[in-house]
Amino acid sequence: MTAAEALEFTASRAKDTTFFFDFDGVLSPVTDDPDASQPVPSVLGVLEQLAAKVARVAIVSARPVSFLRSRFDSLEHVDLYGLYGLEVWHDGDVVTEPAALPWVPAMADLAERARSELPEAILVEYKRLSVALHYRTAPQLAPQVERWGHEQAERLGLRVQGGRMVVELKPPVDQDKGMVISEGVLNAGCAWYFGDDMSDIKAFDALRAREAVDPGFFGMCVAVANPETGADVSSAADLTLESPEAVARFLADALPAFDR
């Protein structure tokens, strides 16, 4: 099925459709400083318009909900899943996975240890329930960061999540983007997921799994090209777009189909 055909089919089932988006690399360009990331300017209006035409729009990100809210506070009808689903913003409330809360002190200590033990070029992003170690500005340090991250994960009983020039350490709680999507499509007849990184492949897999058990369900997996993980993600997707700006244009061009 072509992208145009998929959109036409989706529009015919709009009130039974959910659109899911990753943030970094999908709605926002990836930046050297994670705190500097901003959505593509046109995407806010597009998401709000889309949310008015389909059953649900949600952002599923490794970022904390507090960060996502700071970027999308103008959107009234978009759900936010932070930290791979450990945090959820829905209808004005934040819900945190209870099993992850006891790990907050350990994550704070880990962030301090990372800042003191890793080279200064490594950007340590403390997210309350996880710690991300970014080596984008010093790619030659990747082996050292990965080795240190796995040592700490073994020492503390944490999980390691690889990504685009980053190693992230998370609590040993069963939650990932695939699980978010599996739950999120239980009552949907159609869903799209836009992702760019390795963790998004689990979301793609969740859509495929739902199609396998429900022939009436339609899922569309969209990859966003990038020089780090783009090939792996694109090979798992139905459609590849070249950039976050292209995502915004694709959605803007798709909106009229929902008015026919």
Active site residues: 22
Strand 87-90, strand 93-96: pairing: antiparallel
Q: 133, 122 in Cβ contact below 8 A? A: yes
Alpha-carbon distance of 185 to 37, in angstroms, equals: 28
Measured CA angle at 43 (ends 37, 48), to 5 deg: 125
Helix (H) or strand (E) holding 57: strand 56-60
List, in sequence order, every residue forming a beta bridge with 20; answer none if it has no partner.
58, 193
Burial of 188 (0-12, 13-18, 19+ CB in 10 A): buried
Q: 93, 118 in Cβ contact below 8 A? A: no
Strand 218-224, strand 87-90: pairing: unpaired
Alpha-carbon distance of 182 to 213, in angstroms, equals: 12
